[in-house]
Amino acid sequence: MKTPTVVRVLVIPAALLLFFLGAVSFSTYPAPAATPPTPSATPTSSPTPLPSPTPLPTPTPSPTPVPSPTPTPTPTYPPPPDEVEVPILMYHYVEELPPGADAIRRDLTVSPEAFEAQLQALAERGYHTISLTDLYLHLALGKPLPERPIVLTFDDGYRDAYTVVFPLLQKYGFTATFFVLATPAHYESPNYLTWAMMKEMADAGMEIQGHGRDHVDLRNRSYEFLVYQILGIKEAVEYHTGKPVRFFCYPSGLYDDDVIAVLRSAGYWGAVTTQYGRVHTRENLFTLQRVRIRGTDSLETFLAKVEGRY
Ligand SMILES: [Zn+2]
C-alpha cells in the first residue's frame, strides 16, 4: 500500500502543534495533576503509524523497606469535636518602644514588662500553651488538649522574638508559634531573626512557621509567584530548622482563593488571619481567627480578651 505523502506531511506538524498547545495549556494556572498530554490520534487511513513519543524510562523500583516487627500502635482518641474554643493570641513586637514610634508602632508593641505580667497571669490561671499542630490534631483526630489551652503567635520574626520573648517563654514553661520571613534572615537583617536563632528556638520546642519569603500582599498573584512565596518559605525554614512547616500567616491578613489553593497543594494544614475569633472548626483551618494583643492593653483588658469577655 502506498503512503499518502501529503497526509503524512500535514499530520506531523499538526500533531506537533496539538502537542505544543497541550503543553501550553498545562503550564497555565491552576496546574492540574501531572498527566502527560495525550498524543494526537493517528489517522486510520495512514498505514504508517506516526512515531509515538518516547516513553519515559520506567523508574527502578526502590527496595521495599523491611517492615518493622513491632509496629507502633496508633493511639485511639475520642471522636473529634465539631468545634473547639481556643484563643490564638497575636503579637508583633515585644520590646521597649524606639524613639519617635508612631501610633501604628505603639499599637503593635507590647513592652517586655507588660508581656511578662501577661505570661505570669496565664501561668497563675492554669493556662497551657499548645501549638497550632496540637489544635489541628484535636480537630482532625480528636487528640486531647490540656486544660485551658491557648496558642501564642508572633508575627514577622522580629529580633526581639529571640532576645525578649524566647527567654521569657522558657522562664514560664510556655511555647509559642513564630511566623517568619526568609529574605531578612537571608540578608541577616539586625531587626529580624537569623536562621541560627530560629534553629535554636525550634530545638527548644518553639514552632517556626511561614509568613512568606517576603512580607507582601498575596492577592491577585500568579501561580508561580504564590509558589515562590508560600512553598519558598516552607522549604527555607524546614531546611534551616529541620522541623516541618505546616501553618501559614497571611501577610497583613490578606489572601484570596488562589492563596489557599497553593497552601493546600504545598502541604500546609492551616493558616491564620488577623480577623477576630476564638472558635475553630475543621472547615475554617485556612481562615483561623485570632485575638490581637495591643500595646495599649492593660492586664485587665488582656485577661478579658483571653477569657472571651472583650
Ligand atoms: Zn506580618
- Statement: residue 40 has pLDDT above 50: no
- Find the 198 Cα to ligand 1 centroid distance in Å: 17
Query: Which residue carries 514560664 as its cell?
Result: 172
- Find the 195 Cα to ligand 1 centroid distance in Å: 18
- Find the 250 Cα to ligand 1 centroid distance in Å: 7
For residue 64, name the pLDDT band (cuts at 50, 70, 90): low
Answer yes or no: are the C-beta atoms of 250 and 209 closer than 8 Å: no
- Find the 203 Cα to ligand 1 centroid distance in Å: 23
pTM for this predicted structure = 0.77
124-183 pLDDT, tens digit per residue, is 999 999 999 999 999 999 999 999 999 999 999 999 999 999 999 999 999 999 999 999
For residue 66, name the pLDDT band (cuts at 50, 70, 90): low
pLDDT at 310: 77
- Statement: residue 52 has pLDDT above 60: no
Average pLDDT on 239-261 reads 98
pLDDT at 175: 98
Q: Is the dihedral of CA 263, 264, 269, 274 positive or negative?
A: positive
For residue 76, name the pLDDT band (cuts at 50, 70, 90): confident
254-278 pLDDT, tens digit per residue, is 999 999 999 999 999 999 999 999 9
| 154 beta partners | 91, 178
- Find the 251 Cα to ligand 1 centroid distance in Å: 5
How buried is residue 148: exposed, middle or buried, by Cβ count under 10 Å (0-12/13-18/19+)?
middle
**CB within 8 A of 121, min separation 6: which ones?**
299, 302, 303
- Find the 121 Cα to ligand 1 centroid distance in Å: 26
Q: Which three cell numbers stand for residue 254?
A: 490578606
CA angle 153, 159, 161 (to 5 degrees): 30
HEC string of 260-310 equals HHHHHHCCCCEEEEEEECCEEEHHHCCCEEEEECCCCCCHHHHHHHHCCCC
pLDDT at 61: 56
Average pLDDT on 178-203 reads 98
- Find the 259 Cα to ligand 1 centroid distance in Å: 16
- Find the 130 Cα to ligand 1 centroid distance in Å: 21
**Residue 70, CB half-sphere, CA atoms under 13 Å: how many?**
0
Estimate to the nearest angstrom the gap between the alpha carbon of 191 and the chain centroid: 23
Q: Report the amino acid identity of residue 272.
A: V
For residue 72, name the pLDDT band (cuts at 50, 70, 90): low
- Give the span between the Cα atoms of 108 and 113, in whole angstroms: 15
Answer yes or no: are the C-beta atoms of 128 and 146 closer than 8 Å: yes
82-122 pLDDT, tens digit per residue, is 999 999 999 999 999 999 999 999 999 999 999 999 999 99
- Find the 158 Cα to ligand 1 centroid distance in Å: 10
**Farthest-apart Cα atoms in the chain, separation:** 94
